[in-house]
Structure 1
């Protein structure tokens, strides 16, 4: 893809410097100024920057070469302070992102793909099928839209929206490099959630051992496990058959511990009559024994045409108590966004994809 076809949001700091050098023989003075203003202040007009005042022709060349825009959010749906918004991409397809209030700042749940190929039966996105990967710039644009169009103080980004991040890992990693750059957005906390994509986990493990700035040891890993054994897991997550739980445990044992003692997060969606019994809880503890992990229990949020009802509070409490009694670190996610179809497993619009996708 040529620079003329690329969004400015596709370029990390070093990449933008390289393009300025190759195209115009310019360096950090101009490229660095543009990068900082784009990501710190949401200013995408180089002519408005002091560094370009004496060189308006360069500012014009920049606007002719790169797409300089932040998509406008639309289709906002709310459930209390949690809300979902959509962004329209250049090809007419739409991403979905969720703003989640925390105590002192906001988290943003971002999508890494449009649709998903993993086929998890409890997830609305899976019912769309896979449409395409998002570019690094399209991932970053979700954060930019939340910060500078919706004026949200986004400090935490979680890759838990549409798609399997490790099926689009190159673009996800490129986006992370941009998101956490201290010269720009400076996102402090980033979590990447996967259904257990072992090649992706192994690649992230290798990157976590590299020294800064390329090292990814500060990225939190989350595993969408959802079952205590392979039989149940493959029945609700068909593609999990590719990566047996014994192999998953092996790679998790090798994953480096993060600073400040942050553990790998095990996401467990409690589905009535499927994986929420007392035996399931004890078997889960047995499987996780010896791993430095924390379990996040998520009451099932029914997708459209769901074969299962919503999980009860009593069932969640019973499951949590068993894990606690066995000494397993565990917490329960408070439901946010379900009435706006913005909760875990509810992102995606099948009818809209059918109308737009080729």
Structure 2
């Protein structure tokens, strides 16, 4: 009888990832320092303020860079926590200056974020709140990708930090900053991830950190009615509504969440949005689809629908993507639509398509960052 000895070693146990301090609110950061035996409770607030400024004002990615923290404390921090960035899997720059980053947070967990120059006071960052989306809006490329998971507050904040890294905008009080606004208009439905979105806005807006004003932070939703009031109360953010139709029949098709929360319920919730006023208007986003929602009659119905609401209407030329079933309305049609809305007293800017050549425009984001042949890119540009 022979005996075989198995001398192979089993796979080492997987270690849990270290918590990323960058995604914690001030209170959460102080608590983590106490629970991690970094400091006593009576010292936690002071230590948290130190780390906060290094992470969110200076933008450091290593505890070794925190020079006013004792060396022994830095070693303890490095042993138990990280202040790292996600991997930038791909970086693209459009001919018009738009920048897009594909960020890999973990294997198979990717999302895109886009910087658009000359939007808002200086430039806007379009951040994602989910990997994929559940809403299946028929005109949106992101909607063709199934939901993978919600992003954490740390992963949302990291999108701002990566943009700041690339734009060389540390420290946060640097003069002539190019990043002034944040819009939650990337991948996902923010109100299906409200806890992380609210924590991220708390971190992003802190005056001793990233210092991006809540008044310059806009959250766009397709209309998750039960969460609208909580969004206003918890974040103080500006509200944008992905509308795109003026009647339930068409909106049911374009924005399927309307079947659950029809226009009557949605408009009532918007009228009750905390802080809504002439100084804090809601933005209605309306993508212009040729022969679908772009007639003069629909422009007049839009005016009727939003009557009495402090609002502006962003008219968005449809941005094509591979396999999309729609075409963009002609420029003359869009201008005629805008004229009707303007005459009724509502600002109705026509959004200039940005980043189409790198699939970074509104409705084009998808975490696979599909590559287009040069000939296909030329077709997309010609369509604009």
Same fold per superposition (TM over 0.5)? yes
SS at match of 1:157: strand
- 1:158-181 deviation digits (Å, cap 9, x = unpaired): 000000000111111111111001
Larger radius of gyration: 2
Is the 8 Å Cα contact of residues 55 and 83 (structure 2) preserved in structure 1? no
User: Which residue of 2 is the match for residue 199 of structure 1?
Assistant: 226
SS at match of 2:180: strand
Q: 2:326 is matched with which residue: 308, 312, 316?
A: 308
Compute the TM-score of the two structures, normalised by the length of structure 1. 0.90
Distance verdict in 2 for CA 1:106–1:121, change over 3 Å: same
Deviation at 1:84, TM superposition (A): 1.1
Matching of residue 76 in structure 1 with residue 91 in structure 2? yes
SS at match of 1:5: coil
User: Which residue of 1 is the match for residue 151 of structure 2?
Assistant: 134
Count the aligned residue pairs.
340
User: Which residue of 2 is the match for residue 22 of structure 1?
Assistant: 35
Is the 8 Å Cα contact of residues 21 and 27 (structure 1) preserved in structure 2? yes
Deviation at 1:30, TM superposition (A): 2.4
* CA distance in structure 2 between the partners assigned to 1:252 and 1:259 by the alignment: 11
Is the 8 Å Cα contact of residues 191 and 231 (structure 2) preserved in structure 1? no
Stretch moving more, 24-33 or 166-175: 24-33
User: Which residue of 2 is the match for residue 262 of structure 1?
Assistant: 280
- 1:233-277 deviation digits (Å, cap 9, x = unpaired): 011112221101011111111113357713000000111111001
Deviation at 1:60, TM superposition (A): 1.1
* CA distance in structure 2 between the partners assigned to 1:57 and 1:131 by the alignment: 40
Deviation at 1:342, TM superposition (A): 0.4
Residue pairs, 1:81-160, within 5 angstroms: 81-102=97-118, 105-151=122-168, 153-160=178-185
Matching of residue 169 in structure 1 with residue 186 in structure 2? no
Compute the TM-score of the two structures, normalised by the length of structure 2. 0.84
* CA distance in structure 2 between the partners assigned to 1:151 and 1:191 by the alignment: 23
Is the 8 Å Cα contact of residues 4 and 64 (structure 1) preserved in structure 2? no
- 1:145-196 deviation digits (Å, cap 9, x = unpaired): 0002442542211000000000111111111111001121011211000001
Is the 8 Å Cα contact of residues 3 and 65 (structure 1) preserved in structure 2? no
User: Which residue of 1 is the match for residue 266 of structure 2?
Assistant: 248
* CA distance in structure 2 between the partners assigned to 1:175 and 1:114 by the alignment: 16
Residue pairs, 1:32-51, within 5 angstroms: 32-51=49-68
Is the 8 Å Cα contact of residues 46 and 62 (structure 1) preserved in structure 2? yes
User: Which residue of 2 is the match for residue 211 of structure 1?
Assistant: none
- 1:287-325 deviation digits (Å, cap 9, x = unpaired): 111111111110111122011122221111010011112
User: Which residue of 2 is the match for residue 220 of structure 1?
Assistant: 238
Provide structure 2 residue ranges, at least 5 long, that are not aligned to the other structure. 1-14, 170-177, 371-384
* CA distance in structure 1 between the partners assigned to 2:188 and 2:63 by the alignment: 34
Deviation at 1:343, TM superposition (A): 0.5
- 1:78-132 deviation digits (Å, cap 9, x = unpaired): 3211121111112342110101112652210000000000000000000012111
Deviation at 1:64, TM superposition (A): 1.5
Is the 8 Å Cα contact of residues 128 and 350 (structure 1) preserved in structure 2? no
Stretch moving more, 245-254 or 88-97: 88-97
SS at match of 1:200: helix
Matching of residue 291 in structure 1 with residue 309 in structure 2? yes
Q: 1:62 is matched with which residue: 65, 77, 89?
A: 77
Deviation at 1:232, TM superposition (A): 0.6
Deviation at 1:349, TM superposition (A): 4.1
- The RMSD of aligned alpha carbons is 2.0
Is the 8 Å Cα contact of residues 143 and 154 (structure 1) preserved in structure 2? no
Distance verdict in 2 for CA 1:169–1:280, change over 3 Å: same
